């Protein structure tokens, strides 16, 4: 039935396809600039220049900087959803959480836009009115919380910690200042990644019973 629906639906016109392609390019450029420069410093002019279009053309897609950045953040979360969807089925919950952490750390080292903007930042204020961003984040959070609960039930993660604490510890790594600080001090990215993984996971693994008494 789904295949039949695809065959009967009219194909978008070339103009509509070009419009969508340009909008996708605008969102991708905004996401990259948000990671590199931050919301306060990034300008609409820079986004237009990065895409190679006039600012007036950009405004045909987005009303202003707030709408543009909200769309970029939805793009970031959608990218995370695709990553989670692509994880092999045979991975256990802890392995999935490790893969997620590794991916988030790589994004941080690549100056990508963080999933969780600082609570009192201008970007966070902008996102408060973006229902789609919050809906996507809730879906992602629910999936990760389920893995955490499974790992805790199996004794692989500390049961005394609320699942939300472990979730936030994972997602917060995407905006951890430790990574760029270590890079500025001359450390290799591979070492930084290994240390960040160890320092985060080491505090969350299940402790032997003797250590809890």
Q: Which CATH superfamily is domain 2-206 in?
A: Tetracycline Repressor, domain 2 (1.10.357.10)
Please report, rounded to a whole number, the percentage of residues in the chain having pLDDT higher than 70.
Answer: 87
Query: What residues contact 176, with CB distance under 8 A and at least 6 apart?
Result: 108, 196
- Return d(Cα 159, Cα 190) in angstroms, integer: 31
Predicted local distance difference test score (pLDDT) of residue 211: 46
Neighbours of 172 (CB within 10 A): 14
CB 175 within 8 A of CB 108: yes
What distance in Å separates the CA atoms of residue 29 and residue 75, rounded to the nearest whole number? 11
Q: Which H or E run includes 143? A: helix 131-153
pLDDT in tens, 56-69: 999 999 988 999 99
Nearest to 113 by CA among 85, 79, 155, 152: 79
The predicted-structure confidence for 69-97, as pLDDT tens digits, reads as follows 999 999 889 989 999 999 999 999 999 99
60-74, 107-121, 128-142, 144-158: least confidently modelled range = 107-121
> Which one of 49-53, 102-106, 126-130, 204-208 scores highest in mean pLDDT?
49-53
Distance CA 197, CA 10 (A): 48
Would you place residue 180 in the very low, low, confident or very high pLDDT band (cuts 50, 70, 90)? confident
Phi first, then psi, for residue 169 (nearest 5°) are -65, -35
Task: Give the per-residue pLDDT at 38.
Answer: 85
SS3 helix, strand, coil % of the chain, rounded to 5?
70, 0, 30
**pLDDT surpassing 90 at residue 164:** yes
Structure tokens at 209: 């019973």
**Burial of 30 from C-beta contacts in 10 A (0-12 / 13-18 / 19+):** buried
In this structure, are residues 31 and 75 in contact, taking their beta carbons and an 8 Å threshold?
yes
Q: What residues does 205 pair with on adjacent strands?
A: 157
Does residue 172 register a pLDDT over 60? yes
Residue 204 has pLDDT above 60, yes or no: no
137 burial via Cβ count (<10 Å: 0-12, 13-18, 19+): buried
Backbone angles phi, psi at 157, to 5 degrees: -130, 155
Task: Tell me the whole-structure pTM to 2 decimals.
Answer: 0.77
Are 125 and 66 a contacting pair, CB within 8 Å? Answer: no
pLDDT at 11 over 80: no
Position of tokens 């939805």? 74
């Amino acid at each position: 039935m789904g295949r039949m629906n695809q065959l009967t639906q009219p194909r978008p016109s070339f103009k509509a396809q070009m419009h969508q392609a340009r909008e996708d390019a605008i969102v991708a450029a905004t996401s990259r600039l948000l990671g590199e420069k931050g919301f306060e410093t990034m300008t609409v002019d820079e986004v237009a220049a990065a895409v190679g279009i006039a600012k007036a053309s950009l405004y045909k897609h987005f009303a202003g900087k707030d709408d543009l950045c909200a769309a970029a953040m939805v793009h970031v979360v959608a990218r995370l959803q695709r990553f989670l969807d692509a994880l092999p089925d045979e991975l256990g919950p802890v392995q999935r959480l490790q893969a997620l952490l590794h991916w988030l750390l790589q994004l941080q080292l690549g100056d990508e836009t963080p999933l969780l903007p600082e609570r009192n930042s201008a970007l966070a204020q902008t996102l408060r009115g973006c229902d789609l961003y919050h809906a996507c984040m809730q879906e992602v959070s629910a999936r990760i919380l389920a893995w955490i609960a499974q790992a805790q039930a199996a004794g692989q993660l500390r049961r005394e910690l609320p699942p939300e604490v472990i979730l936030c510890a994972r997602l917060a790594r995407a905006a951890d200042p430790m990574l760029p600080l270590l890079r500025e001090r001359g450390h290799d990215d591979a070492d930084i990644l290994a240390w960040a993984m160890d320092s985060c996971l080491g505090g969350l693994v299940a402790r032997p019973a003797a250590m809890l008494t």
